Structure 1
């Protein structure tokens, strides 16, 4: 692990060292307190807010609370006189999902699952009197499951994952391995679509032992949210491959008339190192319909206009996502409170906004303008920040940087039990696009907060790919320098146990102060940080 220990004036990078403290910055950082942090977070992470899931009651309550706080602070509503930026978002519910084998109906979410993404706008229906079993659906040098087989117009059954030509890695899969498997699966489906397959039955063992909660999520594709942007709307018009994921038991039911089993076919392929593709005579039918349901979701924006006539057109953005993952159906505690993820970051945005608005009231406001923005839909795929990056309220070319706080209230695994557990922060992406931004960050830390700045997650080989997993990334992909402040993964991540009782409020406040001091420097320095790199 590479760390930067910045407790002394040894930080002398390109002329940037530990500068004299700005007395105004120090004064107004005093408004960032553990007490105020507790006030905000005890509301946002309460059971009443039901885990703040995007498109649900709790997220709307959180948005209303943040709007009220922005209004109290005197921030301007920048979206045509409003604080909310509505997001055009929908979910696609499936109905009439049917799968029959020899006329016998199978049970949805138990025996089979149909992903909404693989159902066209008009739905699908097929009837077949035979199917093509095509092993692992692989076509590569030395191994071809489709050799001598006609795919066009066929219902094709394949194993959803796996490659008999490669030895499986021992132990649980990491994110990098899972990502490779997902890419490989998409490549298989694309090959089948391009070659005219009518539909695909994918044997998916994850259906075999699903919990009731997981089955509920899979019904109607779990209510997956989709941005109704130009790209997605265009993709919806494209032809998709009808896909039905089936359990091992359902696959065995299809195979038994031919005297075959899933385990037997896997063994045959493994033993011979050759495909076992063949046509299976059996009646199989399936159908599904898809319905679009619009979802209420909004980013919450508060604007502080800069004081310098020339510089105020330039915008510094401070972000955090206010959504979380909502309710669970199992266990005694059903609320995923998301106190750290990302109630802490949202609280940080509110604290920093208060410090800057107090400075402006005292005649010490920032020279550049600052947009304080709490976004929704991060947990659904960075949707709110993606929407803003495509529909910016202020021109992206005028946006000098994004400072993103996502989880700043806890101690991650690697620092637990260590002497420095209450004085560190992971700083992610600070030099991906601007070498100058990291130097500004380090000099600010050396001058004011003297925390340990850990750059572990800047490693391009990071298996967690943290750099791409929060809202700053939707600014970075447009060439805008960013810093992502993060406390690291911990045992309560995405669990109901991510409660306010486990937040270290002094540490949350100190991390928010570090972000504030960095924002103060960026908002008041003569020049915006130079963009001199292209690593996104």
Structure 2
């Protein structure tokens, strides 16, 4: 159905009030409101199914589902099998569930690279961790700079070693990763900034005590390198659809390295150092898993509503509190489970338009799967009427949530937002926190999930989320920490929005003059 022309007033009334409203200001019933607008198939969105699916997808056997690994393939096969059991139609390549793609991975080669200080060979990522994916060739006496804030020292052409500065508190991002790793990133960035444009041949940063405690976490993240994919929507609005060549020696940023605090005395003696870093580049597969429910209306069934999730998480990394598997229960097994619930509902009661269910591959590696599918869709892009993407929908206050893409400049379809707000009123009745949807929010959350490539191509798109939390991208993001009652309401909300879009006489319109910008 198409909602009336009161869209603007509805948006202003809902979004204008909720940002300042206390979380408990609106009572949230635990069951969907009974209404003629709510289809009987809503009953197929069941808490027991959601709990089972999250528990299976985020189980230790899935090993964190890291993109570009066999663990992601295992999770992708699991998703395809759920699609088959539910009764979806395969909608991938050649009549399969799968749209395959090759990620291009560039990383520091541990076999072709060499490093030594004072004649002592160092092992990369154990003793000395490259902080950027650039080639390096530097040799000579280390220049010890005891205070990185001292800008009077001539560092041009030298291998500089310096202790890490303590980062300003405002530079330590909230709600992302562990505090130790966030602190380390902020300290590294603050110290390296002191040497930008001063021309050192390399910079060696000596860890402080807080960063030393996170050394293995930093090293584990840096071993993975950088990922991209060809023939895809660019990472940035003005970027290229092609993978850039690796930087030539001397053409990239200054090579930078992190060493443990125990190296301080050795480097302060200004020994001879040799740093030879080489890169390696190869392709590794990922996959989008795609199923479909065919619409019932001959005039509308060739238009498509997309339910979007991603099946990958962050794999097996450094042990934290006895666990090394980043299970990714909230990120993003919750949304995959919600998509499966919506699929059961649409199989039971199809809409007028067709519905695509897409689990995008390698989202954590840079929105790889969604960037690829948006540029190479399995149906004509102009036939995709809306993308309903979710990312982390099972944590935090039971009655709060966010709808990203609901306010300018991120909003690209007032029609679609109005449908989502109506669906929320009939299901979850969440108080909507609009702060995370603002371009001024420090997390830039809108730009970090799989709706983004579609929005860049002017497809009406929304992101459903209950936002970040302290277990984000850690082994603590496990099935036991999910609020399944809240997840059920979020899944009902996403499903009902999709039902409204699938049955509206007219597709949601793109707002005139929409231009996505940060």
Q: 2:357 aligns with which of 372, 377, 391?
A: 372
Is 2:157 the partner of 1:157?
no
Alignment correspondent of 2:212: 209
Tell me, yes or no, if structure 1 residue 236 matches structure 2 residue 252: no
Pick closer, same or farther for the CA change 1:406–1:108 going to 2, 3 Å: same
CA distance in 1, matches of 2:93, 2:192: 39
Distance 2:314 2:40 in 1: 37
**Structure-to-structure mapping, 1:134-153, within 5 angstroms:** 151=156
8 A Cα contact 1:112 1:244, kept in partner: no
Question: Which residue does 1:308 correspond to in 2?
Answer: 297
Shift of 1:291: 2.6
1:372 Cα deviation after fit: 0.7
Identify if the C-alpha distance between structure 1 residues 378 and 510 changes in structure 2 by more than 3 Å, giving closer, same or farther. Answer: same
1:511/1:182 Cα in 2 relative to 1: closer, same or farther (>3 Å)? same
Which secondary structure does the structure 2 equivalent of 1:118 belong to?
A: coil
Q: Within 2, Cα distance between the matches of 1:409 and 1:284?
A: 50
Deviation at 1:185, TM superposition (A): 7.8
8 Å Cα contact 1:426/1:488 also seen in 2: yes
1:291 equivalent to 2:280? Answer yes
- The answer on 1:358 being equivalent to 2:348 is yes
C-alpha contact (below 8 Å) 1:137/1:159 kept by paired residues? no
Residues 320-340 of structure 1: CA distance to partner in whole angstroms, max 9, x if unpaired?
A: 112112224424333332222
Q: 1:191 Cα deviation (Å)? A: 3.6
> Once the two structures are superposed, what CA deviation does each residue of 1:322-378 show, in whole Å capped at 9, x if it has no partner?
21122244243333322222111110011111111221xxxxx32222221111222
Matches within 5 A, 1:136-285: 151=156, 154-157=157-160, 169-170=168-169, 173-174=172-173, 191=197, 199-205=201-207, 209-211=212-214, 213-214=216-217, 217=220, 221-229=222-230, 231=240, 233-236=243-246, 239-241=251-253, 243-247=255-259, 250=263, 253-257=266-270, 283-285=272-274
Moved more, 309-318 or 516-525: 309-318
Aligned to 2:434: 455
429-438 or 40-49, larger mean C-alpha shift? 429-438
- Distance in 2 between residues matched to 1:102 and 1:343, nearest whole Å: 49
Structure 1 residue runs without a partner (length 5+) = 9-17, 139-143, 258-281, 360-364, 416-420
Residue correspondence of structure 1 range 387-406 to structure 2 within 5 A: 387-406=372-391
Cα distance in 2 for partners of 1:256, 1:201 equals 16
Change (3 A) 1:428 1:182: farther
Cα distance per residue 1:196-247 (max 9 Å; x no partner): x5832242536961457426515xx322351232646324255334614143
Q: Tell me the distance in 1 between the aligned counterparts of 2:208 and 2:456.
A: 34
Q: Using structure 2 for the length normalisation, give the TM-score.
A: 0.77
CA drift of 1:62 comes to 1.3
Deviations 1:150-187 (A, max 9, x none): 94xx2352759769xxxx74577235998998888887
Q: For 1:490, which of 463, 466, 469 is the aligned residue? A: 469
CA 161–302 in structure 1, closer or farther in 2 if over 3 Å, else same: farther
Q: Decide which of 126, 134, 139 is 1:118's aligned counterpart.
A: 134
**1:189–1:241 Cα contact (<8 Å) kept:** no
The TM-score, its normalising length taken from structure 1, stands at 0.75
Kept in 2, the 8 Å contact 1:6–1:445? The answer is no
Determine the C-alpha separation between the residues in 1 that align with 2:333 and 2:401: 17
User: Secondary structure in 2 aligned to 1:318?
Assistant: strand
Structure 2 counterpart of 1:94: 109
Does the C-alpha gap of structure 1 residues 215 and 469 become closer, same or farther in structure 2, counting only changes over 3 Å? closer
Larger Rg: 1
What displacement does 1:403 show? 0.8
Question: How far has the Cα of 1:525 moved from its partner?
Answer: 0.9
1:127 alignment counterpart: 139
Partners of 1:307 and 1:2 lie apart in 2 by 43
SS of residue in 2 equivalent to 1:531 = coil
Does 2:121 align with 1:105? yes
Conservation of the 8 A alpha-carbon contact between 1:318 and 1:373 = yes
- Residue of 401, 412, 425 corresponding to 1:425: 401
In structure 2, the partner of 1:338 is: 328
> What root-mean-square deviation, in Å, do the aligned CA atoms of Structure 1 and Structure 2 show?
3.6
**Structure 1's 100 and 63: CA in aligned 2 closer, same or farther, altered over 3 A?**
same
